[in-house]
Structure 1
Amino acid sequence: MEPFVLTNQSYLTIEIWSRQFPELIAGFTTKSGGASKGDFESLNLGFHVGDDCANVCLNRENVAGLLKFPLQQWVGAEQTHDIVLQKITKADRGKGSNSYEHSFKGTDGFYTNEEGILLTLCFADCVPLFFIAPEQKMIGTAHAGWKGTVGKIAKEMIVAWGREGISPDQILVAIGPSICEKCYIVNEHVINLVDKSLEEGGVLPYNLVKEGQYSLDLRELNRQILLASGVPDQNILNSGWCSSCHNEEFFSHRRDKGKTGRMLSFIGWKETAKRL
């Protein structure tokens, strides 16, 4: 069953988690329901792609309203396809929420165990990873393109949470909408790095298309890295949405030849009312 369900035209939510954890907001935006024009039509949420910043801010305000999660409680990153993670506290709220210049530099993943913080990252084909350890109230999200994937950013999150006293079998992971193996063709250089990232006995997540060209399943590769990191198979959800195939719903860097908008992964605990 598809874990990411279209809640309205502007975003999908992880339905199973929504039922299990009512105070959790977690999902992935679409490209519909925004103010951006042309190549960025219409719900572009990336500041760094050449869109009018006023429209991006308006789009973000619209999403904040839909999620009932104020923009000043968001955090965002300058993503570099690396494996650097940042633990977030309430003191960080607002960084990267309404400008790229004030975002976390050189960061491709966030995690926190505090309420009232929305962790956000931008995507246009790369794999969004969502993490939750319910007992410890720890949540996280990571950006896994092919570089971050073979660098094992998924494992980095599991290791970082281990330092927080969280064992892999306590962690639930959702692998979000991203480019599928049919749409994602890579060369031998990438495949050589993929081979190095696989544990012995792992199923190859790619197929030869023609000489020097391979179709790569980045979602499956991330799943195998998570399994090798100790996350039980039953704890991993895997989306079937493809950012390239589902052109009505998503921007795609490959399909749109680089000139396109960005979707947003988001995860956060609602801030509970203070008791008098």
Structure 2
Amino acid sequence: MSFSLVSGNRKNLWIGKFSIIPEDMFVHGISTRHGGVSKGAFDSLNLGLHVEDDLEAVRQNRDIFFEGLELPKGQGTTCQQVHGSKVVKITKAQAGSGMYNFEESISDADALITDEPGIPLMLFFADCTPILIADPVKKAIGVAHGGWRGTAASIGAKTVELMVKEYGSRPEDLLGAVGPAIGPCCYEVGEEVSRQFKDAFPEFYDKIVIDENGRTRLNLWKANELQLVKAGLRPENIDVAGVCTACNHRQFFSYRADKGKTGRIAAVLSIK
């Protein structure tokens, strides 16, 4: 298994791909910050509509990324991402929600699932964890936004649970991918956050919270990986990018490294 950047169909457009997600059944990609038209702090492929970037530039960036993925324009479906743990089932009637207008995004949700072909699910990140889930048996997908709050609330596991309920997915059939996010090298947290993770995951707390030299650091990658295993995914069916967005903030947007004013990368997953 591996995560790598591949060249898109435009100069300086790079798309992150997971080898575990079969290309004959699904279209997926993680964007970088390169290849777009935004300026300044949002240079250049900012895909977030909610970060005070120029609206038309973001719309153009989204079209650029979808062209790179060879997906039809206008069908991307997204949610407003409130750092919660609500998962929403997407049908054809909701296709395109939030693609060009933030106000039209699915409200009060941080994860989406669908079994409809041709409806790309699209979420946005700048240090939080992209979680992609694909069911090659039932042909269903899910994408989740795992910030520390969502991760502590088991949003990845809740995405799996709703796919099981709605589509009859079997966890052992599911393929999971944990995308670029702030790594344990850079993510120092306070006592409130570490305590919530101790309460949420006492069985593997020592694997996700590192206490060294009076500092406490959180491993969101591992927390989401182990959460998926707990939900029933096979460890060998989970691919973790292991790429820190803060360390690599010249390649990916990082809220922490860029001191709060920055763009957003996107994770997109669609059924062919």
TM-score with structure 1 setting the length: 0.92
2:196 & 2:4 partners in 1: Cα distance? 29
2:202 & 2:30 partners in 1: Cα distance? 30
The share of aligned pairs that are identical, in percent, is 35
Question: How has the CA–CA distance of structure 1 residues 202 and 228 changed in structure 2, closer, same or farther, with 3 Å as cutoff?
Answer: farther
Question: How has the CA–CA distance of structure 1 residues 15 and 95 changed in structure 2, closer, same or farther, with 3 Å as cutoff?
Answer: same
Contact 1:125 1:252 in 2 (8 A): yes
Local SS of the residue matching 1:160: helix
Please show how residues 105-144 of structure 1 align to structure 2 within 5 Å: 105-144=107-146
TM-score with structure 2 setting the length: 0.94
Q: Which of 206, 209, 220 is the equivalent residue of 1:206?
A: 209
Match of 2:61 in 1: 59
1:23 & 1:138 partners in 2: Cα distance? 10
- CA root-mean-square deviation: 1.4
1:229 & 1:209 partners in 2: Cα distance? 30
Runs of at least 4 residues off by over 6 Å? none
Deviation at 1:23, TM superposition (A): 3.5
Mark the runs of 5 or more structure 1 residues left unpaired by the alignment: 271-276
Match of 1:6 in 2: 6
1:229 & 1:23 partners in 2: Cα distance? 23
Deviation at 1:69, TM superposition (A): 1.1
1:56 & 1:176 partners in 2: Cα distance? 22
Local SS of the residue matching 1:266: strand
Match of 2:101 in 1: 99
Q: Say if 2:19 is the partner of 1:15.
A: yes
Local SS of the residue matching 2:161: helix
Contact 1:202 1:224 in 2 (8 A): no
Match of 2:193 in 1: 190
Q: Say if 2:172 is the partner of 1:175.
A: no
Contact 1:130 1:140 in 2 (8 A): yes
Q: Which of 199, 223, 226 is the equivalent residue of 1:224?
A: 226
Deviation at 1:71, TM superposition (A): 2.5
In the comparison of the two structures, how many residue pairs are matched? Answer: 267
Q: Deviations over 1:98-122 (max 9, x none)?
A: 0101111111011111101000001
